Structure 1
Amino acid sequence: MIERKFVAEKKKEFQVHEYIGEFLDNVGYSKTKLVKTPLGEKVVIFASRPGLIVGRKGANIKQLTKSVKGRFNLDNPEIEIAEVPNPSLDADIIAEKIASYLERFGTQKFKAIGHKIMTEVMGAGALGIEIKISGKVPSSRAKTWRFYQGYLKKSGDVSVSGVRRSHKQAQLKTGIVGIQVRIMPPDTKLPDDISVLSAEQEAAQKPAEESRAAEAEAAAKDAEEKKQDEKKPKRKRSPSKKAAKPAKAKEPGQEAQPDTEGGQQKEQPKEEVKTHENEGTEGNEQ
């Protein structure tokens, strides 16, 4: 079935995404996309720092291409790197940044890290952000610290399709610390977002609404007329006799064409020519 084919392709793409995320560390990695081309398969890597992925003289790219080809049996893979337009609104990049900060500075400054990241994300135009750091932070007992700011949907379809999520782990001396990030980007359309029109905007929209109403009424009238025409009984037409075509007038100098009937020519009776002898000639013979 074709559904299984689509599921297998998405599963393969997710596995490649997970593997590349483990291979690339602290490069601002966001996501991976597989694209089929006539020459093979293209692997598009989205990251905030493409230079670190390429490496010196393309060494990292060559190694990554070789490992991906051998692990996932890709047909002539080609790796392409694309830069993320706004890294501050990408949940994967933000979670990776928090993990790198915790590994570098430890758990003593986790509050400063959380507030700094929140300020950066909200300054980029996000509607809301939530950060959860769980683990032995900062004491020996495991706790969950929550940082939030702005407006964030927690239920409904918008919370699934309009909120970007990411989970990362930071390996510290005290143990593993889990990081969860949720960001609502500014282009999210909320169902309860209502805008009130001003008097000028309302006056400008009235002619358009009236024209639409007039068009709708005209279309409804046309539909009713068509229905009435269909309901009327159709009259049977009597077969009309074909009118005989008038004969064309003969032009001077033209010979009369014989009339045809049924594709055959009519034979005209030949006139007998009687020869009358003159009385004068009869007398001479006698």
Structure 2
Amino acid sequence: MGQKINPTGFRLSVTKNWTSKWYANNTDFAKMLKEDVDVRIYLKKKLKNASVSKVIIERPAKNARITIYSSRPGVVIGKKGEDIEVLRRELQKRMGVPVHVNIEEIRKPEVDAQLIADSITQQLEKRIMFRRAMKRAMQNAMRLGAQGIKIMSSGRLNGAEIARREWYREGRVPLHTLKADIDYATSEAETTYGIIGVKVWVYKGDTLGRGADAPAVTAEPAADEKKPRRAPAKTTARKPAADSKPLVAAKPTVKRAPKAVEAVEAVSAEAQKSGE
């Protein structure tokens, strides 16, 4: 039975890019990777109310550059930039190298998979019906330009004794098309009945290359729609050339009867003469 692979990992180096961009030798790789994981966990807890979508970590020349994508950059920066300075010092203490923090604003949070998943989990923790939260998120995403969206919730939905999963989909979500720009994210809601997991797939169109800046392309028309249909050719009478000879009607040919028929006719004629 086929299972669903992670859409982001499936498209790495094809249309998606890594969120950690650095090189390390074999001795330092595990240490630096552990630092990245710890930094992301810390930022997720610290900026829980800032609607953070993703964190990109780069390490150029014994430094670190962290880019935070958020739909509420004012919450991250704080009053007169105080909060971001405190955040930078804390990250520098954790990583042990000079850190530069950049903030990027997300213009359409309704189409971002991570922000959609976090929004649904926050509503579930406030005891809002999961179907209402899922359908509202799907309507907002389709209204703001998403070509398809799929949301799945699993766990003790509405406090049921038996855990189950329910999902809704609207539009197209081509998971097997590598050039399709599929934004995938997960989130967990901690309710009194247990943890409810939320998965979100958002189809934003097709991309031509790797990275978020790749232009989207529309679906190509079918093969029979590319070429315009031609009108039937008009049949025109061909004019004879000037030096061509006029056509002469062929003489009708008279078919002669076979020899057996001629012999029978001759015998019958002789019989008539003898009778006379």
Q: Could you say which structure has the higher helix fraction? A: 1
- Number of the residue aligned with 1:125: 145
- Number of the residue aligned with 1:281: none
Instruction: Output aligned runs, 1:227-246, within 5 Å.
Output: none
- Number of the residue aligned with 1:136: 156
The answer as to 2:140 corresponding to 1:114 is: no
Q: In structure 2, how many angstroms separate the alpha carbons of the residues matched to 1:37 and 1:162?
A: 28
Deviation larger for 177-186 or 149-158 = 149-158
- Which one of 112, 127, 133 corresponds to residue 90 of structure 1? 112
What one-letter code is carried by the residue in structure 1 that aligns with 2:125? Answer: E
Instruction: Output aligned runs, 1:155-194, within 5 Å.
Output: 155-158=176-179, 162-188=181-207, 193-194=219-220
The answer as to 2:48 corresponding to 1:25 is: yes
- Which one of 146, 166, 173 corresponds to residue 145 of structure 1? 166
Question: For the Cα contact (< 8 Å) 1:130–1:149, is it kept in 2?
Answer: yes
Question: For the Cα contact (< 8 Å) 2:150–2:168, is it kept in 1?
Answer: yes
TM-score (norm 1): 0.59
What one-letter code is carried by the residue in structure 1 that aligns with 2:118? Answer: E
Unaligned runs of 5+ in 2: 1-22, 209-215, 230-276
Alpha carbons of structure 1 residues 50 and 147: separation in structure 2 relative to 1, 3 Å: same
Deviation larger for 84-93 or 127-136 = 84-93
Question: For the Cα contact (< 8 Å) 2:154–2:196, is it kept in 1?
Answer: yes
TM-score (norm 2): 0.61
Tell me the number of residue pairs that the alignment of Structure 1 and Structure 2 aligns.
194
Q: Which has the higher contact order (CA 8 A, sep 6+)?
A: 2
Task: Quote the RMSD (CA, aligned, Å).
Answer: 3.1
Question: For the Cα contact (< 8 Å) 2:110–2:141, is it kept in 1?
Answer: yes
What one-letter code is carried by the residue in structure 1 that aligns with 2:226? Answer: L
Larger radius of gyration: 1
The answer as to 2:122 corresponding to 1:100 is: yes
- Which one of 84, 89, 98 corresponds to residue 66 of structure 1? 89
**1:180 Cα shift?**
0.5
Question: For the Cα contact (< 8 Å) 1:129–1:151, is it kept in 2?
Answer: yes
Alpha carbons of structure 1 residues 197 and 27: separation in structure 2 relative to 1, 3 Å: same
Question: For the Cα contact (< 8 Å) 2:207–2:217, is it kept in 1?
Answer: no
Question: For the Cα contact (< 8 Å) 1:13–1:33, is it kept in 2?
Answer: no
Question: For the Cα contact (< 8 Å) 1:128–1:150, is it kept in 2?
Answer: yes
Query: What SS is found at the alignment partner of 2:92?
Result: helix
**1:19 Cα shift?**
3.1
**1:87 Cα shift?**
1.7
**1:4 Cα shift?**
4.1
Q: In structure 2, how many angstroms separate the alpha carbons of the residues matched to 1:60 and 1:192?
A: 42
- Number of the residue aligned with 1:197: 226
The answer as to 2:60 corresponding to 1:41 is: no
Query: What SS is found at the alignment partner of 1:186?
Result: strand
What one-letter code is carried by the residue in structure 1 that aligns with 2:186? Answer: H
**1:140 Cα shift?**
2.8
Query: What SS is found at the alignment partner of 2:121?
Result: helix
**1:52 Cα shift?**
1.2
Query: What SS is found at the alignment partner of 2:133?
Result: helix
**1:76 Cα shift?**
1.7
What one-letter code is carried by the residue in structure 2 that aligns with 1:60? Answer: D
Q: Deviations over 1:217-242 (max 9, x none)?
A: xxxxxxxxxxxxxxxxxxxxxxxxxx
Alpha carbons of structure 1 residues 40 and 60: separation in structure 2 relative to 1, 3 Å: same
Question: For the Cα contact (< 8 Å) 1:102–1:170, is it kept in 2?
Answer: yes
**1:162 Cα shift?**
2.4
**1:68 Cα shift?**
1.5
- Number of the residue aligned with 2:239: none
**1:144 Cα shift?**
0.8
Alpha carbons of structure 1 residues 3 and 43: separation in structure 2 relative to 1, 3 Å: closer
Q: In structure 2, how many angstroms separate the alpha carbons of the residues matched to 1:55 and 1:136?
A: 38
